[in-house]
Chains A and B, each alone.
Chain A
Amino acid sequence: MPQLVSIAGLSVAFGGVPVLRGVDLALEKGEALGLVGESGSGKSVTWLGALGLLPRHAQVSGSVRLEGREILGASAAELDRVRGGRIAMIFQDPASALNPVLTIRKQLCEALALHRDLQGNGVKAEARRLLDLVGIPDAGRRLEAYPHEFSGGQIQRIMIAMALAGNPDLLIADEPTTALDATIQAQILELLSTVRRELGMAMVLISHDLGVVAENCDRVAVMYAGRIVEQAPSNQLFADPVHPYAQGLIGALPPLDGPRRRLTAIPGTVPDPAHMPDGCAFAPRCTLAAEPCGLAAPSLAPIADDRSVACIRAEASRRALLGVAAE
């Protein structure tokens, strides 16, 4: 069975400056994959690039297959069918994704008319059902309201309703619960996973919240500076991160109990994409960096059946392990 989506060597550059540098990711039907990583590491660009949503001046290369069929560079008409139909996306800036001068009903119905074979009253009933489904109280009346009349959390529910309008096989949720408080976040994530199970929908959850990703995804990929640096089943990644960046990420989480301490922020900033260091992009911030790290960029290599890491130290220890095993 082919993968639902498989991305290979996806690279994106803006004005000759590479920001995505060879991303490989695969997703099975119905699977939930978490994508975490430094701000600016290319989490959004990966999916914007894959779905042909980047501005024209972006140079995109590599391969993106939807059930084996290449969609990178596909015609505008084909991409329109894919987006909002087979693959839906909830964007990071929900407020700017809704039209402020149209009622929620107008916008939901538009999405429904575009991707579903529904007419007249059917469209309206479905719009109402979707609002109900995402837990907007008093859905019938609230359909007539404008975006500014909803709170941030309610807007995000509406975005989810819009995304579900096309019955997608894959939902890409870019920071879907960022502005919500915990009990509603828990309900929305619960909602997403219920919908996901019912529809057999796969999901990519992009989030800065490691807790959210840990609880809602089967597998997690950690991105840094335009590459994936570690990929593992959720529980393993959080119990035992291997890549120094993944370790730092988990250590930077403020504790909810016990004594307060100054956070152990990873020092420095993400390297400027225009001035990428030679070798491992994390080296300038890595406390474990050694001389070989500056020579060649480590590639993502398996360290176990379902885990892979891009770090020279991990490679070395794997080679040592393999060496021992060969004897």
Chain B
Amino acid sequence: MSPPLVEVSAVSRSYAMRSGMFGRSTAVHAVDGVSLTIAKGETLGLVGESGSGKSTTGRIVLGLEPPDGGEVRFQGKPMAAPGTAAWRAQRARMQMIFQDPLGALDRRLPVATQIREPLDIHGLGTPAEREDRVRELLRAVELTPAHGARYPGALSGGQRQRIVLARALATKPNFLVCDEPVSALDVSIQAQVVNLLADLQAQLSLTLLFISHDLRVVRQISTVVAVMYLGRIVEIGSADDLFARPEHPYTQALVSASPAPGRRSAGRIVLSGDPPNPAARPSGCAFHPRCPRAIARCASEVPALAAVGGNRQVACHLVAGAATRDAA
């Protein structure tokens, strides 16, 4: 078997957060010992609570931010040091699509200019070839040159996100990190962008790290799904199976809370307790203050991510306990 395109080993990242009137500084463990691999041509979906470290993981995987600990390998090689020629070459092979398309675009430039920008930066092609490539990219995301002449403010949200997608594809990357790429779009356009992304992925053999809070969209596009909670992966497994039979209590709540037309909120697992605070990470299992199934042990002991059969891994004392019992 060929090695995975992307290998993330135990990466961690903390931020110092200043707070209070004495400017006391607290460490926020945004990402804490995350390991994952993505095979070539595969899509890994990353879901999880707001503030759980999905975007930070995405930025670390792309080398936009160094991890405090752990390592990221791309095509079997460690990430080159930022700023070097090797780093730039590596970076052209990987691109990111951000959560906020308007923030990702420069309001003062026509969008076609912004699609061309990566070609200018990496010095790819003659000026005429770059213009052709921009037209080709606009067509690939189903927009016209007339759209290209506009400024971001004069496009709708869906049109902007397709511009961002076109720009990300300009350097013909083989790895894309998509951070909430379709969240701001309405369903019919979302369906088109998801289909478009799936088609482009097949045509260009793209490998994706797909970050989204929308379980439906994640299931639609992912081969494997990882669920994060307060900086850690709490469950990982193949997409269909994970949503059909979530094992971790947080994943169960997540699946249950996904809104569906025609269903009122009755019968839903509603989590109580405060939203998680990364600056004050609960002891033991970080989910325990909100977990409907927590036992005494959960407050003191951190559950490790452990295989529970198939390709599923779960970090929960109850689930791991079941596995131990089976083994005994």
Contacts and interface: CB of A to CB of B under 8 A. Distances in A.
Interface of A: 14, 36-40, 92-93, 95-96, 135, 137-138, 141-142, 144-145, 149, 151-154, 175, 178-187, 190, 208-212, 214-215, 235, 238-239, 248-250, 252-257, 260, 262-266, 269-270, 272
A182 B184 contact: no
B39 interface: no
B184 A253 contact: no
Contact of A135 (B154, B264, B274, B279): B274
A137 B277 contact: yes
A25 to B, nearest CB: 18
B229 to A, nearest CB: 10
Contacts, number: 189
Contact of A182 (B55, B259, B262, B276): B259
A145 to B, nearest CB: 6
Interface string B88-110: 00000000000110110000000
Given A183-B271, A187-B271, A254-B191, A38 B50 contact: no
B97 to A, nearest CB: 14
A153 B277 CA distance: 12
A250 B188 CA distance: 8
B213 A179 contact: yes
B17 A183 contact: no
Category for how many chain B residues contact A: 35 or more
B258 A39 contact: no
A285 B253 CA distance: 38
Interface of B: 17-21, 47-52, 55, 99-100, 102-103, 142, 146, 154-159, 180, 183-192, 194-195, 198, 213-217, 219-220, 240, 243-244, 250, 253-255, 257-265, 268, 270-271, 274-280
B159 A96 contact: no
A181 B194 contact: no
User: 4 smallest A-B Cβ distances: which pairs?
Assistant: A153-B50, A211-B259, A40-B156, A39-B158
Given A92-B184, A175-B184, A179-B183, A137 B154 contact: no
A252 B187 contact: yes
B51 A254 contact: no
Contacts of A187: 271, 275
A190 B272 CA distance: 12
A254 B194 contact: yes
B160 to A, nearest CB: 9
Contacts of B190: 208, 252
Nearest to B227: A181
A260 B240 contact: yes
